[in-house]
Amino acid sequence: MRIDVDALKCIGCMACEMACGYHRDDAFALLASCIVVYRAREKKDYFGVVIKEEESLTIARPEGLEIKRIGVAEEPGSTGQKKEADASAKPMLLREPCDLCDGMKYGPMCVKICPVNAISLVEGGE
Q: What is the dihedral of CA 9, 14, 15, 21, to 10 degrees?
A: 130
Among 22, 85, 101, 111, binds another protein (CB under 8 A): 22
Closest to 38 in 3D by CA, of 1, 72, 5, 74? 5
| 70 binding partner (options ligand SF4, another protein, none; Cβ < 5 to 8 Å by kind) | none
Q: Running DSSP on this structure, what letter comes out for residue 65?
A: E
Question: Least distance in Å: CB of 64 to ligand SF4?
Answer: 15
Question: Least distance in Å: CB of 72 to another protein?
Answer: 25
Question: Least distance in Å: CB of 5 to another protein?
Answer: 15
Say whether 20 sits in a helix, a strand or coil. helix
Q: Running DSSP on this structure, what letter comes out for residue 53?
A: -
Q: Which residues bind ligand SF4 (CB under 6 A)?
A: 3, 5, 10-16, 19-20, 23, 34-35, 37, 49, 51, 98-101, 108-110, 113-114, 116, 118-119
Spell out the residues 6+ positions from residue 35 whose beta carbon is closer than 8 angstroms to its own: 3, 5, 16, 17, 20, 49, 50, 51, 52, 98, 110, 119
Q: Among residues 49 and 92, whose Cβ is nearest to ligand SF4?
A: 49
74/64 Cα distance (integer angstroms): 19
Q: Among residues 28 and 123, whose Cβ is nearest to another protein?
A: 28
Q: Among residues 26 and 72, whose Cβ is nearest to ligand SF4?
A: 26
Among 1, 46, 96, 126, binds another protein (CB under 8 A): 46
